[in-house]
Amino acid sequence: MATEIERKYLVHPKAWQQAKANAEYSHLSQGYLSLEAERTVRIRIKKELALLTIKGKSKGISRLEFEYQIPLNDGLALLKICQGSIIEKKRYIIHYDQLTWEVDEFEGDNAGLIVAEVELESENQTFTLPPWIKEEVSDDQRYYNSNLVQHPFKDWE
């Protein structure tokens, strides 16, 4: 059984522009086959890789997560039958203070949104925030990717 323990943060756009100057990114497309409260089922395409991910309901900042590589053609076909819109984003991988941060710059209907995530070993793990972090939004469901497909950032007031 796999447990994901993750914190999510908004990013200072100007400070982030400097931090990402030399960072590489990958383009991701992802959609959701299931958006039920008890579980989400996601398909993600990254270059020539397709991943099927099942996540359980969050309990604090933890939840069950299972991820499997599937054939690319299957992933592309599944992306066509997803619920809501497809999320398009650039994902940067940044190493800071012995942790790996994933910073997503959203495109399309979610353009303008920049979210950083860090996976932890425990819910109580202490760590230093990078200087480009603005505020924590781990408990704000609006920032869940599964919510952004139904309520995109462009529609927020």
Predicted confidence at residue 119, as pLDDT, reads 95
The three-class DSSP label of residue 57 is: coil
Predicted confidence at residue 130, as pLDDT, reads 97
Strand locations in the chain (E): 3-11, 25-34, 39-46, 49-56, 62-70, 83-96, 99-106, 114-119, 133-136
Q: Write out pLDDT tens, residues 63-75.
A: 999 999 999 999 9
- For the domain spanning 3-155, the CATH number is 2.40.320.10
Domain ranges of the chain: 3-155
Residue 13 CA to residue 152 CA, distance in Å, equals 19
Helices (H) and strands (E) in the chain, counts: 3, 9
pTM: 0.94
Q: Among all residues, which ones are annotated catalytic? A: 32
| Sequential pLDDT tens for the chain (157 residues) | 599 999 999 999 999 999 998 889 999 999 999 999 899 999 999 999 999 999 999 888 999 999 999 999 999 999 999 999 999 999 999 999 999 999 999 999 999 999 999 999 999 999 999 999 999 999 999 999 999 999 999 999 8
Q: Write out pLDDT tens, residues 25-37.
A: 999 999 999 999 8
Kindly report the length of the chain.
Answer: 157
Are residues 62 and 2 in contact, defined by beta-carbon separation less than 8 angstroms? no
